[in-house]
């Protein structure tokens, strides 16, 4: 295309996010057995919210995980899970940090703040302040 430089080299890693079917621990473990070189972006909250024990799942996926998403939530009076500021919900962050810390790899951990889809959530800067305390 005129005016745009040609891309002659692109260094990318493709990863699969654990969403929908792959939020289920059994299906995720099966997927990794079938595709052993798959790189995983582990959306830890979705796996946990689906009822999986992250401590039991970790040994099955540790070698494939290259990035982690975290967020917090709690059950509302309506019986549905609602996102909240980090540290104000029930997500087992201490367990996750212990698992990740027991591994020699340095894995990126990012706060997945979904205010775009959930405008009732506080502002991002409030979430980042809460996340710093939650991750300690």
pLDDT digits (tens, 9 = 90+) for 120-131: 999 999 999 999
Residue 9 is predicted with a pLDDT of 72
The mean pLDDT of the chain is 91
Contact between residue 102 and residue 62 where contact means Cβ atoms under 8 Å apart: no
111 φ/ψ angles, rounded to the nearest 5 degrees: -80, 125
Please give the structure tokens belonging to residue 34: 């079938």
| Per-residue pLDDT reduced to its tens digit, 47-103 | 999 999 999 999 999 999 999 999 999 999 999 999 999 999 999 999 999 999 887
Confidence check: pLDDT of 4 > 80: no
At 52 the three-state DSSP class reads coil
Closest CA to 29 of 5, 11, 54, 7: 54
Q: What is the pTM of this model?
A: 0.85
């Amino acid at each position: 295309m005129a005016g745009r430089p040609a891309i002659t080299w692109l260094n990318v890693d493709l990863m699969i996010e654990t969403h929908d079917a792959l939020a289920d621990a059994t299906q995720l473990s099966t997927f990794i057995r079938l595709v052993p070189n798959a790189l995983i972006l582990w959306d830890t909250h979705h796996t946990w919210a689906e009822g999986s024990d992250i401590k039991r799942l970790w040994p099955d996926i540790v070698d494939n995980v290259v990035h982690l998403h975290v967020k917090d939530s709690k059950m509302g009076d309506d019986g549905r899970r609602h996102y909240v500021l980090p540290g104000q919900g029930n997500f087992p962050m201490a367990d996750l940090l212990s698992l990740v810390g027991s591994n020699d790899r340095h894995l990126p951990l990012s706060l997945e703040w979904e205010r775009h889809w959930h405008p009732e959530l506080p502002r991002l800067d409030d979430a980042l302040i809460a996340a710093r305390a939650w991750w300690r």
